[in-house]
Amino acid sequence: MRKPHPRIRKATKWTSAALALILIAAWGVSEFSIFGIRTNHWNVQVYFGNVLVYYDHSGTSFGLTPTWIWLRFDDANEDRSWWIKSSPPMPWFAYTTVTIPLWMPLSFFLLLSGTAWRFDTLARRRNQSHLCQNCSYNLTGLKPGSNCPECNTTPPPLSVECKE
């Protein structure tokens, strides 16, 4: 089995961790305010741990200039969604809405980050204990940088694996 390249693994690990953090922050803010952006066709806003995507087919609802949405909750009109909700376009309004709970993308990025993290740790451990990155064959005694005698994998450069 081909293992992902260390650089890709590291990029995945940090990017998905950063995205997860952004989503957690957005969730926190969405507990006391509504924020988002609207254009003439789109209205995307985050509130109570949900992302509401609203598409206006006629493009006349919100004016032509994109504007940021920032509202404080006045009254607790809590509308929490725990699954994707979508409203079909209605002929008299001609809009479509989709509500996505933030935990969905959040758990995806947490899982991705956790998996990449685990692979990264395992790879570093294998590298430090002189095991082949691909088949875990013991490379002790071989010249550093030489190919694995079992599967002929070239070990990754130490600068990539041994940072941190």
Neighbours of 138 (CB within 10 A): 12
Nearer to Zn ion, 25 or 158 (CB): 158
Nearer to Zn ion, 31 or 150 (CB): 150
For the stretch 94-109, what's the b/e string if a residue is b when 16 or more beta carbons lie within 10 angstroms of its beta carbon? Answer: ebebebbbbeebbeeb
Binding site for Zn ion (CB under 5 A): 132, 134-135, 137, 148, 150-151, 153
Residue 61 contacts by C-beta under 8 Å, 6 or more apart in sequence? 40, 43, 95
Q: Rounded to the nearest whole angstrom, what is the least distance from the CB of residue 8 to Zn ion in the complex? A: 19
Q: Rounded to the nearest whole angstrom, what is the least distance from the CB of residue 149 to Zn ion in the complex? A: 8
Nearer to Zn ion, 117 or 137 (CB): 137
Q: Rounded to the nearest whole angstrom, what is the least distance from the CB of residue 159 to Zn ion in the complex? A: 20
d(CA 131, CA 125): 8
